[in-house]
Structures are given as C-alpha cells and as structure tokens.
Amino acid sequence: ILNVEQSPQSLHVQEGDSTNFTCSFPSSNFYALHWYRWETAKSPEALFVMTLNGDEKKKGRISATLNTKEGYSYLYIKGSQPEDSATYLCAFSKSSGDKLTFGTGTRLAVRP
Amino acid sequence: GAVVSQHPSWVICKSGTSVKIECRSLDFQATTMFWYRQFPKQSLMLMATSNEGSKATYEQGVEKDKFLINHASLTLSTLTVTSAHPEDSSFYICSARDPLAGLSYEQFFGPGTRLTVL
C-alpha cells in the first residue's frame, strides 16, 4: 500500500509570510512527484513535476525540492499573498503511465 | 492549453437512479483518462483508468458494474453511477493525459462533480 503523507493539514499565515509544506512518499520504485494547487471550485493546477533526486523547481514565488532517497519533497512559498490561498496536493507515481497516489493536501489560508 | 472540462459540476439524485458524468479534453486528444473520487477529509482516490477504445481498468474495491466507464472518443470519457445510493455521494473528478505534451505523464484535471444521492 502506497502512503503519501502531507503536513501540516492546514496552515494560516499572514500576508508576506513565507511558508513551506512537506510531502513524504515511498522511496522505492519512484518515478515522479507531482505538486498541484487546488482552489475551491476550480481544477487542480499542476505546479511541478519532479523526477530526479535533488531536483529543485521554481515558479514565481513558489519553489519545490525533491529527495527521492529519503522520500520527501518540500514546497516553499515566499512572501505569501491572499491569492495563494488554496489546497496544495502532492502525488506520487511509480512509472510514467502509472496512477497518481495523492496525499490529503495542505490547506493554506493567507490573511491580508 | 490542456484544459479539461467536466459536466455537471453538481448533481442531486434520488436513490436508485443513475447519473452520468462527462469528462472532456477541450484542446488536446487524451488517449488515457482517469476517474478519481474524494470523500470528505480524504485524499483523491483513483477509481479507474480509461483508455480510448478499450475497457477501463478498475482499482481494487471499485465495482465495475456500478461505475460504468466509456471512453468512446479521444476527447470524451463518461462515468455512469448506476443505481446510486447515499453512500455513493462524493466528489468525482477526472483527469486526462496528453501523450503529445512535453511531460507525457502529466495529468490535467477537470473541476470535478459533486454528487449527492438522497
């Protein structure tokens, strides 16, 4: 049974704060780690797909790192804005065509 | 690009009736689509993988006779919940893979369908 865990479950921060979340996943048979941003009533939006140990990816104020040997990924948001409020999901896959196994997500609320 | 739509966005039905949910890839052809379900406070759980022109592959514990999946074209997959019961009330969401995209294993999601069975 694959177990993808995310922490914290929820987070409330003030506008301008920087924050980070954790995603842990099985380190064996790893293929890719996906991060999604999911706003209420919208489609989950792909942020990053990472495949190589040590990968670091950045998109504006959001960045992510990957450690496949120990089975974790961090997502960082620098200078949080109210529009960053969403649920951030990570998902793990074992092969290129394989299903995604999701964590339960981290719900971020950014106060103006 | 890579937009996936889902219809309806919400539906309420009586116990015993069937409900059909559509998933469309609007600007690409999706040879593979996935159907997920999410119960409150739980993660998205894969129900089945739908391949165009062939039978869907169901995950363990998902009844194929209850959740009928049809992927008759490269842009449309449908999920029919047959003889729905209150315990089928959930959030159903589809995703599609674009084999021609740079990252062919990336999945693009629809906005989901909230099903409530009375």
Q: What is the pLDDT of residues A9-35, one digit of tens each?
A: 999 999 999 999 999 999 888 889 999
pLDDT at site B104: 60
Taking every pair of Cα atoms in chain A, the longest distance, rounded to a whole number of angstroms, is: 42
**Phi, psi at A30, each rounded to 5°:** -80, 140
Q: Do A100 and B107 touch (CB under 8 A)?
A: yes
Q: What is the pLDDT of residues A34-84, one digit of tens each?
A: 999 999 999 999 999 999 999 999 999 999 999 999 999 999 999 999 999
Band of pLDDT at residue A96, cut at 50, 70 and 90:
low
pLDDT at site A29: 83
Q: Is the pLDDT of residue B15 over 70?
A: yes
Q: Which residues contact B31 (CB under 8 A, 6 or more apart)?
A: B51, B52, B74, B97, B99
CB atoms within 10 A of CB A90: 31
Q: How far is A38 from chain B (nearest CA, A)?
A: 9
Q: Do B41 and A96 touch (CB under 8 A)?
A: no
Nearest Cα neighbor of B53 from B31, B36, B37, B34 is: B31
Mean pLDDT over the full length of chain B: 92
Nearest to B111 among A4, A36, A42 (CB): A42
Q: How far is B42 from chain A (nearest CA, A)?
A: 6
Section B43-60 average pLDDT: 92
Q: Do A46 and B43 touch (CB under 8 A)?
A: no
For every residue of chain B, DSSP letters joined together read ---EEEE-SEEEE-TT--EEEEEEESSS--SEEEEEEE-TTS--EEEEEEETTS--EEPTT--TTTEEEEEEETTEEEEEE-S--GGG-EEEEEEEE-TTSSSTT-EEE---EEEEE-
Nearest-Å Rg of the Cα atoms of chain B is 14
Cα end-to-end distance, chain A, whole Å: 41
Window 2-21 of B, Cβ < 8 Å to A: 4, 9
Q: Do A103 and B108 touch (CB under 8 A)?
A: no
Q: What is the pLDDT of residues B89-104, one digit of tens each?
A: 999 999 998 777 666 6
Query: Please, are residues A26 and A92 in contact by the beta-carbon 8 Å criterion?
Result: yes
Structure tokens at A30: 């790893």
Nearest-angstrom CA–CA distance, B32 and A83: 32
Query: Please, are residues A101 and A92 in contact by the beta-carbon 8 Å criterion?
Result: yes
Nearest Cα neighbor of B79 from B47, B103, B106, B109 is: B47
